[in-house]
A and B are shown apart, each in its own frame.
Chain A
């Protein structure tokens, strides 16, 4: 039997839709409950991720945190490096940088295309690494052209970079370059599938597989009443199914027609209709939800296949404070 208790780390994801003091309240609670990582999403239409993290840095002492994930299309990698390195001054050794190609929906709102994603991520990671390690950045690439950029301040330690990845090529690249890979998945089948491409990237870079952390971002919802947990996760699952590539739908035996129906309902803002079309199979495929005991079993299934960080992502539960407390009291101790 695989012993996971010494390997696994636990993260939590917050979306800064809430007032800053609520997000910070939950961050303090997450730290007290024993979470290792806090990831805050980066979308221009929510509160700024670095402002949110700056407050979190001030009111926490141990938990590691970072953008989860930022994207180089809206934020130049030099500015991302500046932001995470500045945060690192407030919370030395606790900052991580999550970067990926971003969310297509919000990028479309500002007409920013996700062009050349592999080159953009590859060059971004290189630039962030170079400038944050104190060097002069001289970079002439396909995407960026930088001549002699450097910080006027010292960065005391390395900032680990986690790369958000979905498709085969990006997963491979993430494993080739990243200190960690962030996968959006809640089901072992999807993680198993992703791991083959992660192994590929590790081989290309001739790295030791243990150098690359594998974090799974799940759609998570826990409550003492499983019906309430499920109800809270329904909207998230509806959105996932609506935007899910056909190959992933097929993997879970979900028809593209049912996905299209949910997408159509969402597009027409018929929320009740959209959510009523979410089936138990969809919830099983795209979320981890239920009572603490049910969630523990599902988390175990993910850890068995080599996940090193389990991230409890949105919605966390029907009542954020109570759900974080349930995780801290009933779930994390099982794995410690």
Chain B
């Protein structure tokens, strides 16, 4: 996810993090969230670091586990085709 997040321009970090959080919180697969990943996300949230490179990495990781198609759709809406390609590849792997 490190490479993937670098495709998101800084100006979109806030929008991206909020959109991905919505996907995660409203996911019907939320049970599949690994507890260690959840705790890492809470750690970054407490410190206002979800809209940073490291925060977005963890959020994308979680969103791709829970809702890969919705996440890719959201990234498409953000207008980030290169990231879409990376995410599609990671979903297949």
Footprint of B on A, CB under 8 Å? Answer: 19-22, 24-25, 28-29, 32, 59-61, 319-321
Q: Are B46 and A321 interface neighbours, CB within 8 A?
A: no
Is A21 a contact of B22 with CB atoms below 8 Å? Answer: no
**Is B41 interfacial (CB-CB < 8 Å)?**
yes
Tell whether, in the assembled complex, residue A21 and residue B21 are in contact, meaning their CB atoms are under 8 Å apart.
no
Asked if B80 is at the interface of the complex by the 8 Å CB criterion, the answer is no
- State A319–B22 Cα separation when bound (angstroms): 9
Closest residue of chain A to B26 (Cβ to Cβ) is A319
| Closest CB in chain A relative to B63 CB, distance in Å | 14
* Given A321-B22, A321-B25: A21 touches B46 (CB 8 Å cut-off): no
Set of chain A residues within 8 Å of B25, measured between Cβ atoms: 22, 25, 320-321
Q: 13 A-B contacts, Cβ less than 8 Å apart?
A: A19-B31, A21-B33, A21-B39, A22-B30, A25-B25, A25-B42, A28-B45, A28-B46, A59-B42, A59-B43, A320-B25, A321-B21, A321-B25
Residues of A contacting B: mostly? helix
Docked pose: A60 CA to B46 CA in angstroms: 7
In whole Å, how far is A38's beta carbon from the nearest beta carbon of chain B?
Answer: 14
Q: Is the CB of B31 within 8 A of A28?
A: no
Asked if B54 is at the interface (CB within 8 A of a chain A CB), the reply is no
Report the bound CA distance from A22 to B21 in whole Å: 10
CB closest residue in chain B, given A60: B46
B60 CB to closest chain A CB, in angstroms?
17
Query: CA A110 – CA B30 in complex, angstroms?
Result: 30
Most central of A21, A22, A59 by chain B CB within 10 Å: A21
Q: List 3 A-B pairs, minimum CB-CB distance, nearest first.
A: A21-B38, A59-B46, A59-B42
Chain B residues with Cβ below 8 Å from A61 are: 46
Cα distance A28–B41 when bound, in Å? 11
Residue of B with least CB distance to A22: B25
Q: How far is the CA of A166 from the CA of B55 in the complex (A)?
A: 45
Contact (Cβ within 8 A) A28 B42? yes
Q: How far is the CB of A13 from the nearest CB of chain B, in Å?
A: 18
**A104 CA to B41 CA in the complex, in Å?**
37
Assembly CA distance A321 to B35 (angstroms): 20
Q: Quick one: which of A20, A21, A60, A321 contacts B41, CB cutoff 8 A?
A: A21
Q: Which residues of B contact A19 (CB under 8 A)?
A: 30-31, 33, 38
Looking at A25, A28, A320, the one whose CB has the most chain B CB atoms below 10 A away is A25
A30 to chain B, nearest CB (A): 12
Contact string, B8-42, partner A, CB cutoff 8 A, digits 1/0?
00000000000001100110001101010011011
Contact A21 B42 (CB under 8 A): yes
B38 to chain A: closest residue by CB: A21
A22: chain B residues at CB < 8 Å are 25, 30
**Within the complex, what minimum Cβ distance (angstroms) separates A311 from chain B?**
22
